[in-house]
Amino acid sequence: MEVNRRSEGWMLRCYTNESEGNHIHPYVEIVYLLEGTVDFSIEGSVSTMYAGDIIAVNSNRRHGWSFQEKSLLCTVWIDYEMLTEYLGQDILLFWCNSTEEKNEYYQQLSLIMNDLLREFAADQVNS
């Protein structure tokens, strides 16, 4: 099952047990695993994600994932041009991969993603 929510400049997608082959798109993508285990690939480098892990994928980077068990994975696509305009930068590069490094910032991001997804779920129930 795939659930989508789109607004100007961003889109939220949630996947349950649906692997996604390698692909490229012009958006920055934040990937958050709520439940389960997923093998996540960026440019051929594979990391295993567990519940609570978060990865940022820069625009135009080849990536994909494979579910290893019953899982719930959510992605937030953010328009690259909107980000560059908002931040006043011509080139943006993000580094965020909690499968390779654990620290308080990743814990804070995980809490923010949980709050965002709770709001999303509440909206889905009420609509």
Q: What is the DSSP string of 49-79?
A: EETT-EEEE-TT--EEEEESSS-EEEEEEEE
Whether 127 is covered by a domain: the verdict is no
CATH label of the domain that carries residue 80 = 2.60.120.10
Whether 40 is covered by a domain: the verdict is yes
Whether 126 is covered by a domain: the verdict is no
Nearest alpha-carbon partner for 55 in 19, 97, 102, 13: 97
Whether 106 is covered by a domain: the verdict is yes
Residues of the chain with confidence (pLDDT) below 50: 1, 125
Q: CA-to-CA distance for 41 and 48, rounded, in angstroms? A: 9
The structural domain count of the chain equals 1
pTM of the model: 0.84
Q: Give the SS3 label for residue 109.
A: helix
Looking at residue 53, what is its pLDDT? 94
Residue 57 sits in which domain range? 2-121
Q: Residue 120 is encoded by which pair of tokens?
A: 């999303």
Looking at residue 121, what is its pLDDT? 64
Looking at residue 40, what is its pLDDT? 97
Q: CA-to-CA distance for 94 and 96, rounded, in angstroms? A: 6
